Structure formats: structure tokens, C-alpha cells
Amino acid sequence: MTSMPGPIATDDLLSYARLDGDDVRVVLGLPDGEVTGPRVLIRFQNDTEHFRARGLVDQASGRTTVTVRVPRTQLTDGVWHLRLRQDAESPLRDLGARLLVRGDPPVALLFGKTANV
């Protein structure tokens, strides 16, 4: 039996989310060697829906970041859990990060585990 890879520890100092025009831009700082580029899939999931968006991998300056843009209209208000898939054949990996979307324009990236969010 093959073991599933564990979560990826997202760097909360290098990661952020912000409104960028009509899009929400999420930048995730990841440990070196966890993903390779140039693209990955990021899964956004809340209690009732989910979708995937392509993320771009940047490995410049000795750091790895993944940037993903999603139209704000695609994100209903609430908490979206983020997971990463390296390619179509690889398993989903939890990023330990959630995107909080409330009203217009607030967005925030949340880290760690909580029982009720």
C-alpha cells in the first residue's frame, strides 16, 4: 500500500490574499522541493461547492511561491479551504490555509486548524 503524502506547510509570512481588480489573488509561500513548476492546480472548497484554478509556480530567489487568481464573483462569502495538486495524477495535498471572503472587498488568508471554521 502506498502512503499518501501529508500536508504542505504553507509559510504564513510569505503568503497572502488580496483583491486585485475584479480578482482575488492568493500567493502561497511553500517549502522548497514540495512542488515543481511551472503550474499546479489549487482546489478551492467550502461546505457546498468546489472548483480548481491553475496556479503558477515561481522558484526565484531560493523561495517557492504559488500564485493563483480567481474572479471575485466565483467566490461566495465564507471560508474556502485550499488544497494543491501537482498534476492530474497526483493526490490533493492540504495547504493548512483557508481563504476568508466577506463582503466587498475584504479577503484574508487564515492559517492553522480551528474546530469551527
What digits encode the pLDDT tens for the residues 7-57?
A: 888 888 899 999 999 999 999 999 888 888 799 999 999 999 999 999 999
What digits encode the pLDDT tens for the residues 57-74?
A: 998 877 899 999 999 999
Reference 97, options 63, 65, 59; nearest CA is: 65
Report the pLDDT value the prediction gives residue 114, as an integer from 0 to 100. Answer: 60
Give the separation between CA 23 and CA 60, rounded to whole angstroms: 24
What digits encode the pLDDT tens for the residues 80-90?
A: 999 999 988 88
Q: Which residues on adjacent β-strands are paired with residue 99?
A: 80, 109
Report the pLDDT value the prediction gives residue 71, as an integer from 0 to 100. Answer: 96
Amino acid at 45: Q
pTM score > 0.95 for this model?
no
The answer to whether residues 56 and 39 touch, using CB atoms and an 8 Å cutoff, is yes
Dihedral of the alpha carbons of 16, 84, 59, 12, in degrees to the nearest 10: 30
* Extents of the domains making up the chain: 11-111
Q: Look at residue 115 and tell me whether its pLDDT is greater than 80.
A: no
Looking at CATH, the fold of the domain delimited by 11-111 is given as Immunoglobulin-like (2.60.40)
